[in-house]
Structure 1
Amino acid sequence: MAVGQKGAIPSYGRVFSRRQFICGGLGGVSLLPWWRVLEVESIRAQEAVPSSAEEPRRRLRELGIVIGGYPPGEYNAITDVEGVRVGHTTIIRNLVDASGKEKRIRTGVTAILPHGGNIYREHLFAAFFNQNGWGEMTGVVPLLEEGRLKTPIFLTGTYNVGLVYDAAVSHLLKECPAIMEERSIPSPVVAECFDGYLSDYQERMVTEADVLAAIGRAKEGSVEEGGVGGGTGMTAFGFKGGIGTSSRRLPREKGGYTVGVLVMSNTAAREQLRVDGVPVGREMGEAENYVPGGAKSIILIAATDAPLFSFQLKKIAKRVVMGLAQTGATSNTGSGDLVLAFSTGNRLPSRAYSPRRQVTAVNDELITPLYHAAVEATQEAILNSLTMARTMEGREGNIAPAIPLDRLVQIMKRYYRLEVRRDD
């Protein structure tokens, strides 16, 4: 049965045995109430096998659509900033409760490790920007106070935040068992979007094992995009959304720095979608399986190897929102549009209590090229989250269709925005 047809269950992510599901993978101790053990078929994620009728997914540049003027890094991802790693745990489960009602779980968690060392011991300058605050990002109050990032960053569904936070604390205590004896105790950063269109969000299925697995899978290099990790159940611009990433590398005469952006897109309405200025959403119209609503959210994470202070990163975060605006999103009243930006250019030891600390920073009068890079990378990251996502069916038969790439290319060609270029 083709993905997107009524009754079809798209398959993504890793495989779960019945025992792993019931026990949560934690030493054979069940974390679930008894009724959730009931099942009709199997309670597990299935192998990702796209329908032969569904077109292969491609990133924006692979379609010949080029955003901006700066070239991307090697992977065109946030991981082009040296040391940054990304890992996902994707949870696709179908189960039946005691009343016979089917539950469809489409959720997960994404972990971003900010550098290759121990972030709990070596902090980074960071900044937070609240474009529209109908959302949650834990850990930002101490971040705003100190201007430092002290933990990995986690992305998930709204009602999983507490579960992920608790697991993040477990990881913190494992990595730094004596942390409670120090002056500065890290508060995990966990950000959310609401995945309730596709996922039975009341069934809070993310476990500590899932969070630790996402951390364990975190790697440099290419990043899996679309309906994976925290983005599993997300929709954007009336299509399937999720995780997307992109990067920009400045020329040597402008510093040679890299800016990378990763987003969890769950935002806007179809008619708002613009691609490189082209009103793609209006051109496509409200086709079958249109995802309703535009008052949703997006989490945007920016990283750079440029040595920047927190006040400079706050300005980078504001430019990230300009990239969001270029895709057509307008941050509605009910949107949770939250930005976190960090720099790997200085590592700040947690135990350094000397009276003075020497750090470096880019001359603030020469920071403008980093603004441009942030705007470009953000726009492309959001669009990659669409072009890489596959059609998904979820809660109560709701379907989030993948953006049709053939139509996207046709529209861009008609507006003379399609480029055939050599690799950057």
Structure 2
Amino acid sequence: MVFEGAVFSAASFDKADFSPKVLTCIDQSGMIDRVISVDEPDFKSVKQTAANHNILHPIPNGSYLLPGFTDLHVHAPQWPQAGLALDRPLNEWLQTYTFPLEAKYENLDFARKTYKSLVHELLANGTTSVLYFGSTHVDANLILAKICAESGQRAFIGKVAMDNPDQTPDFYRDSSSKEALEQTEVFIQQLQQLQKKTSSELVPVITPRFVPSCTDETLQGLGKLARKYNLPIQSHCSESIWEDHYAIDRFHQRDAEVLDKFGLLTNKSVMAHGTQLQNSDLDLFKQRNTAIAHCPISNVYFGDSVLSTKHAHNKGVEVGMGTDLSGGYSPSIYRNMQQAIMSSQMLQDSGVKNSRISAVNAFYLATVGGANALSIPTGKIRAGYKADLQIVNDQYSNIMSNNANDIFERLIYHTTKNQINEVYVSGKQVINQGDNNGK
């Protein structure tokens, strides 16, 4: 396929490139082969050849080709409660609402119905790669994986491990550390088999829910499994004042130090939230090459603070964007970019200097930052990157400025899924607004 039209793509943390008219050429493996500007000598011949083979895809005037987004933190089973009980304290929200909901995924029909809705909703919002927390149930997590494969979404999925009876309810936890570790390994092996069978982009992830939910034996065993299978790791780290203090009270160490002690901070680790991270923690993240999933909406409700994304970036820590469904109520990375910008301004207004981020910075987190955190070659519209793409309509192009910078900021602030006309993952169309069920 060859797209003809205007492109926005992150060049760096502080710069987004705009190309008003290029050919974006996708090869049969779903990679971007070339991006040809209008002044290159073979622009016309490549365009004509694509038209002759019926693979030229003109992008309409007023619409733009953008990279697909990477969401670094989604609690898949929590989708049915998105936006509910967010006025409650985190621990009460978990025990009263979240754990009872997640326990329902023992019912595989319920899992199938929910996950079909969730995966389609994320794709329709331009999210092409997702790092998912599943539930404790192996079979339900495999249903999520199958739906991602069928829908064409790139998915990193973890069976949640949680066995600490002091912090998890008796109706929803692994019955022992032995069960938590054995079931995690079963899930890893079955997901790898599914990946081979479907040739889809599925990766199992080691997933301790967070330090309070797990016994020492489970944390230790999960670190060993991550090394055995060379897998990504996801969890929460210094998500709130309560979690931060819990680690100190139990281990006499900071949350990041505890995770590191058990081998859970690696160059394949993504830790969510981090609103309470101190400089020593960020230095440890940098040393281990561990990334942060910035979840700006949910941090407003449960984080007790604002993560200084610019400070973390300047310290050399990779940061990407996460929705944190359902602690964050919106499945839209656009909505989370907007909140990230607003929250950073509030942080600066509170006296934290040089903490404000721009639309360009937020766009980098949503594309390149997330892709780098998962070590996947996507997030840019450039040769050698996966063709994860979205075609977005500028709904106000007829009445507002058409300066490139103005268009870009307008897309960041005003795009909803209604303006996302098409979505592609590795060159395959997965959403077409003309087909309400996707493709």
| Structure-1-length-normalised TM-score | 0.24
Query: Would you tell me which structure has more helix in proportion to its own residues?
Result: 2
